[in-house]
Amino acid sequence: MTLPPRLLIAMDSFKGTMTARQACEAVADGVAAGWPTAEWILVPLADGGAGTVEALLRARGGTERRTQVTGPLGDSVMAGWGLLADGRTAVLEMAAACGLALVAPGRRNPLEATSRGIGELLVAAIDAGARGVVLGIGDTATVDGGLGAAQALGVRFFDASGEELAAPLRGRDLERVAALDATAARQRFAGVELEVLCDVTNPLLGPRGAARVFGPQKGANPAMVEHLEAGLTRVAVLFESAAGTAVRDVAGAGAAGGMGACCLALLGGRLVPGTQTLFDLLGFGQALERADALLTGEGRLDAQSAAGKGAGRALQCARAAGVPAWAFVGIASEDFDATHELGVRGLVVLAPDGASPSADEAPLVLCEAARQWAERMAQEGIGSKTSKQR
């Protein structure tokens, strides 16, 4: 008697069209229609950016909270965060409070953007009793060195005349800061473990730093970039004086417009690999051990996927475990060999002509692609693991 296949459906988000959960559910619906006897487990992926809270709440249990905070351009936004089932671990993502997606393309300007909202979310989490905080710092609109967030947590900043700077601090205020006092923030974080999910390795300053690499992605022109670089250089001295150690060249210090450096220097945070940490928290490895095949995917498969983020990391894990894997993607880079780089058994491209489906159409297109795949596999079989059998 042939056992039904066990599939691990672990999709990443298709940015702008589907969340990771929506993509997983679309694939599951397609598999159910095309291969009714198949079994599956859903593990929506995240890497510290948008979708992190949703993924961890689904995997670990807990409650979603919503808090009104300062948005990236100073307007109020309602930001979601999670308190896990243990009642002591909070999950936050900067994207919810100061994400790039919250700012219309024509208004993106990191000189005017503030990270204050994520500081306000951290206050809410600690006030709710969290003793551990998992903070994703991807997909932000900010290059303010985390000053806005730090100020919300009680760090006081002063100009050259000794006057305290008013809130909210933004990217344009970096060059005005001449001194800081982090006493209150450190007291607030006493007994709180802050894990900062960070996959990028950029330092705070220089050609690979926060201003020069991430500034243009967030709307900065060349003049703005130089303004931000000068400000971050000034703040780096203050950070290192406050921390008593060098932080500017630490891998990840430049993440989220310098928020990585701020967490290290002022909040006692610890930078950890985002994707791998989340995979551990999501139980991805255990699910993969029980699976006969992996179905994963994301909006675009390219060389960045091979750097170990999201779907790319899932495919690397599957190859290491000898589990056959298929990828469903919106677009695949023509100069990237997914079979060679990631061990993909099969690649399903939803938009081979480059015309991506709309947000309304995307789940239907993905579901149909999964149905066709499932019908074919029901006839052909998916092969077997190369490292261990069921």
Range of the domain at 116: 52-275
Residue pLDDT, tens place only, 229-280:
999 999 999 999 999 999 999 999 999 999 999 999 999 999 998 888 889 9
The predicted structure's pLDDT at residue 388: 41
Shared domain for 232 and 371, answered yes or no, is: no
What pLDDT score was predicted for residue 276? 86
In angstroms, rounded to a whole number, what is the distance separating the alpha carbons of residues 251 and 203? 5
Which CATH number does the domain housing residue 321 bear? 3.40.50.10350
Q: Which two tokens stand for residue 46?
A: 């995240």
Domain identity same for 81 and 185: yes
User: Considering its fold, how many domains does the chain have in total?
Assistant: 2
CB-based contacts of 345: which residues, under 8 Å, 6+ apart? 293, 324, 325, 326, 383
Say if residue 168 is preceded by a cis peptide, omega within 30 of 0: yes
- pLDDT value at residue 309: 73
Write down the pLDDT at residue 318: 94
- Do residue 172 and residue 206 come from a single domain? yes
Which of 251, 275, 299 is the C-terminal boundary of a domain?
A: 275
CATH classification of the domain holding 173: 3.90.1510.10
Give dist(CA 261, CA 379) in Å, integer: 54
**CA–CA separation, 84 and 69 (whole Å):** 21
Task: For residue range 300-323, list pLDDT tens digits in order.
Answer: 887 777 766 788 899 999 999 999
Q: How confident is the model at residue 354 (pLDDT cuts 50, 70, 90)?
A: low
> Could you give the angle at the alpha carbon of 294 between the alpha carbons of 289 and 296, nearest 5°?
130
In a domain, 322, yes or no: yes
In a domain, 343, yes or no: yes
Pairing of strands 193-197, 132-136: parallel
225 and 202 co-located in one domain = yes
Q: Is the per-residue pLDDT at 387 higher than 60?
A: no
Residue 370 lies in a domain: yes
Domain assignment present for 1: no
Where a domain ends, among 223, 245, 275?
275
pLDDT digits (tens, 9 = 90+) for 213-228: 999 999 999 999 999 9
State residue 389's pLDDT score. 42
Share of the chain above pLDDT 90, in %: 73
Higher pLDDT, 189 or 114: 114
- Predicted TM-score (pTM) of this structure: 0.85
The domain boundary residue, chosen from 222, 248, 275: 275
Give the pLDDT of residue 358: 81
Within this chain, do residues 268 and 344 fall inside the same structural domain, yes or no? no
Identify the pLDDT of residue 79: 97
Residue 113, Ramachandran bin (φ over 0: left; ψ between -120 and 50: alpha; else beta): beta
Query: For residue 217, what pLDDT is reported?
Result: 93
Report yes or no on 195 lying in a domain: yes
Q: Which of 1-15, 135-149, 207-221 has the lowest mean pLDDT?
A: 1-15
Mark whether 17 and 131 lie in a shared domain: no
Clarify whether residues 109 and 191 are in a common domain.
yes
Question: What does the pLDDT read at residue 105?
Answer: 93
Residues 165 and 269 in one domain: yes
Same domain, 158 and 127: yes
Per the prediction, the chain carries an average pLDDT of: 91
Q: What per-residue confidence (pLDDT) applies to 385? A: 60
Predicted pLDDT at 335? 67
